[in-house]
């Protein structure tokens, strides 16, 4: 986190825009938005130096609901966009909001390489294990037996395991949170934003319309029984063998973030284009 | 075992006021969220109920700020980090929202919150060593007890709906 400018006693309401969310009542994403604004207030982030980037999907509506700068980008391409932004403007605090469809399917490849590049940004994926905006298709994290008219008998496919993938790909901070605990989620987001490099936070965020069974997550989540580890192998073993409802910071690494030197490289775009003229 | 910052007993008036203010401010935020959700989904009866609840909590928050004088209660509460790992007592569960919910459901949420706040301040009265803290916490207990009674009175006006309250002839789920 390079751009945090401390301000006296910011309130969460200072980060909430006048645009009202249009999520379904009961949606976990309301709590995630609340966690965002609470985390930003705790950090005292300057809205004009903070950017929330997103792709497409219910979760990707977040930028419109904050007073920070925002970019509602192309489906699955939020990380590519955020990478360019952070490289060009390392002084900004960059937070990326995504969902399990946008982030792990359409944007799956960007996820791998964003972890690998380890650019200083925070990637938040609101995982509800379904494509909610398009009315309930299975996503990469959907259980194999999710039986609906759109997936009769279930897909039979093993779910994607984002936290392990993130670790294996080089993410510098890996955490799991639950939307129904916005204060705890805010605390995790604070640590994620503060941590140098690529921080990945998966937030279990129920879709009450197409996955009403996920209301039960409230009784399934629990704090991680062991503290944060700095050993990715140990973290991977823990994550692979947990029940998927372990909440907390699961890995905190010390890889140096990637940040290309930009000084003295003021290139005129017209000059660059000359080389490509036919 | 040493206590975490969130469990430490309250030892001065500023801390008590900061926590009391956070309880009310968080409640205002939650009820406002509910009201906005219901506004979006055109459940106008609920908009009014949640706006009224938010307004009532906002008045209490303003009263507490007045009592605190120059103390920055928001900063003080952030330093205390009392509910960093959980909800403050009057934070209604947004996950309980439903686009067809009724005032009865809203008041049930409010009742849970008020009872939790009552229990919180009662525990301070019981555990505080300082007479001034005990006295102020007792005032908050009285207020919260009145709020609990107020919600019960409102519930007489809004009886529990029939079991089919959430049945929708035109539900949003198009896939089944």
pLDDT tens digits for range B71-98: 999 889 988 888 887 888 988 788 888 8
| Short-list A88, A48, A59, A54, CA closest to A73 | A54
Q: What is the pLDDT of residue A8?
A: 57
For the segment A95-108, the average pLDDT, to the nearest whole number, is 97
Residue A173 structure tokens: 């901070």
Does residue A170 register a pLDDT over 60? yes
Q: Round to whole Å and give the CA distance between A225 and B41.
A: 40
Q: What is the pLDDT of residue B95?
A: 85
Nearest to A210 among B83, B95, B173 (CB): B173
Confidence of residue B7 (pLDDT cuts 50, 70, 90): low
Q: What is the pLDDT of residue A7?
A: 53
Q: What is the pLDDT of residue A267?
A: 76
**Contact by Cβ (8 Å): B49, B2:** no
Q: Please provide the DSSP assignment of A193-256 as one string.
A: HHSSSEEEEEEE---TTT-GGGGGHHHH-EE-SS--BS-HHHHHHHHHHS-S-EEEEEEE--PP
Q: Do the domain assignments include residue A21?
A: no
> What's the total number of domains in chain A?
1
Total-model pTM: 0.89
Q: What is the pLDDT of residue B66?
A: 95
Measure Cα distances from A140 to A75, A116, A239 in Å.
15, 21, 18
For the segment B136-149, the average pLDDT, to the nearest whole number, is 94
Confidence of residue B175 (pLDDT cuts 50, 70, 90): low
For the segment A21-25, the average pLDDT, to the nearest whole number, is 92
For the segment A65-87, the average pLDDT, to the nearest whole number, is 97
Residues of B with CB under 8 A from a CB of A: 25, 29, 33-34, 36-41, 72, 74-75, 78, 83-88, 93-99, 101, 172-176
Q: Do the domain assignments include residue A1?
A: no
Note the pLDDT tens digit of each residue in A226-258: 889 999 999 999 999 999 999 999 999 999 999
Q: Round to whole Å and give the CA distance between A208 and A4.
A: 35
Could you give phi then psi for residue B159, rounded to 5 degrees?
Answer: -70, 165
**Contact by Cβ (8 Å): A82, A107:** no
Q: What is the pLDDT of residue B96?
A: 87
Residue to mutate among B23, B95, B102, B109, with most A CBs inside 10 A, is B95
Q: What residues of B are in contact with residue A13 (Cβ under 8 Å)?
A: 29
Nearest CA in chain B to A9: B75
Strands across the sheet containing A121-127: A69-72, A50-54, A93-99, A121-127, A198-204, A173-178, A246-252, A222-223
The rounded percent of chain A whose pLDDT value lies above 90 is: 85
Other CB atoms within a 10 A radius of the CB of residue B134 amount to 15
Nearest to A11 among B74, B94, B98 (CB): B74
Q: Round to whole Å and give the CA distance between A119 and A104.
A: 18
Q: What is the ipTM of this complex?
A: 0.81
Confidence of residue A48 (pLDDT cuts 50, 70, 90): very high
Confidence of residue B2 (pLDDT cuts 50, 70, 90): very low
Q: What is the pLDDT of residue A127?
A: 98
Q: Do the domain assignments include residue A140?
A: yes
Pick the CATH number of B12-88+97-159 from 1.20.1260.10, 3.30.9.10, 3.30.2140.20, 3.30.70.980: 1.20.1260.10
Note the pLDDT tens digit of each residue in B34-78: 899 899 888 999 999 999 999 999 999 999 999 999 999 988 998
Nearest to B87 among A21, A179, A183 (CB): A183
Task: Look over chain B and give the mean of its residue pLDDT values, rounded to a whole number.
Answer: 88
Q: How many residues does chain A have?
A: 278
A224 touches chain B (CB under 8 A): no
A220 touches chain B (CB under 8 A): no
Contact between A184 and B176 using a beta-carbon 8 Å cutoff? no
Q: What residues of B are in contact with residue A61 (Cβ under 8 Å)?
A: none
Q: What is the pLDDT of residue A133?
A: 92
**Contact by Cβ (8 Å): A198, A173:** yes
Q: Residue A68 belongs to what domain range?
A: 28-274
CATH number at residue A41: 3.40.50.970
* Domain ranges (residues) in chain B: 12-88+97-159
Q: What is the pLDDT of residue B79?
A: 87
- Beta bridge partner(s), residue A199: A122, A173
Other CB atoms within a 10 A radius of the CB of residue B2 amount to 5
Contact between B37 and A25 using a beta-carbon 8 Å cutoff? yes
């Amino acid at each position: 986190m390079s751009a945090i400018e401390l301000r006296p006693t910011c309130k969460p309401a200072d980060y909430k825009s006048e645009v009202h969310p249009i999520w379904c009542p009961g949606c976990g994403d309301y709590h995630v938005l609340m966690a965002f604004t609470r985390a930003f207030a705790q950090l005292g982030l300057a809205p004009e130096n903070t950017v929330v980037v997103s792709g497409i999907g219910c979760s990707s509506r977040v930028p419109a609901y904050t007073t920070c700068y925002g970019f509602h980008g192309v489906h699955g391409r939020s990380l590519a966009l955020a990478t360019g932004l952070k490289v060009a403007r390392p002084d900004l605090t960059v937070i990326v909001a995504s969902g399990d469809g946008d982030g792990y399917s359409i944007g799956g490849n960007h996820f791998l390489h964003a972890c690998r590049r380890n650019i200083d940004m925070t990637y938040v994926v609101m995982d509800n294990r379904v494509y909610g905006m398009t009315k309930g298709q299975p996503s990469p994290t959907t259980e194999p037996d999710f039986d609906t008219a759109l997936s009769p008998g279930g897909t039979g496919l093993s779910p994607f395991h984002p936290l392990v993938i993130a670790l294996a790909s080089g993410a510098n901070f890996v955490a799991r949170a639950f939307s129904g605990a916005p204060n705890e989620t805010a605390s995790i987001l604070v640590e994620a934003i503060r941590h140098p490099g690529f921080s990945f936070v998966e937030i279990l965020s129920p879709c009450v319309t197409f996955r009403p069974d996920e209301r039960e997550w409230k009784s399934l989540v629990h704090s991680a029984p062991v503290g944060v580890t700095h050993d990715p192998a140990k973290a991977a073993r823990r994550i692979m063998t947990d029940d998927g409802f372990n909440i907390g910071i699961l890995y905190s690494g010390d890889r140096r973030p990637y940040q290309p030197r930009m000084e003295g490289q003021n290139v005129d775009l017209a000059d660059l284009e000359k080389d490509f003229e036919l | 075992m040493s206590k975490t910052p969130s469990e430490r007993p309250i030892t001065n008036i500023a801390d008590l006021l900061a926590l009391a203010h956070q309880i009310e401010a968080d409640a205002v935020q939650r009820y406002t969220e509910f009201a906005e959700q219901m506004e979006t989904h055109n459940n106008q009866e609920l908009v009014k109920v949640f706006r009224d609840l938010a307004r009532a909590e906002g008045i209490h928050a303003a009263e507490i700020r007045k009592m605190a004088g120059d103390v920055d209660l928001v900063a003080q509460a952030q330093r205390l980090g009392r509910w960093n790992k959980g909800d403050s007592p009057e934070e209604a569960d947004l996950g309980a929202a439903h686009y067809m919910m009724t005032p009865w459901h809203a008041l049930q949420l409010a009742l849970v919150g008020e009872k939790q706040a009552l229990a919180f301040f009662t525990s301070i009265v019981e555990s505080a060593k300082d007479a001034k803290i005990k006295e102020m916490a007792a005032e908050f207990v009285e207020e919260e007890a009145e709020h609990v009674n107020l919600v019960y009175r409102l519930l007489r006006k809004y009886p529990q709906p029939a079991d089919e309250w959430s049945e929708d002839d035109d539900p949003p789920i198009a896939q089944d």
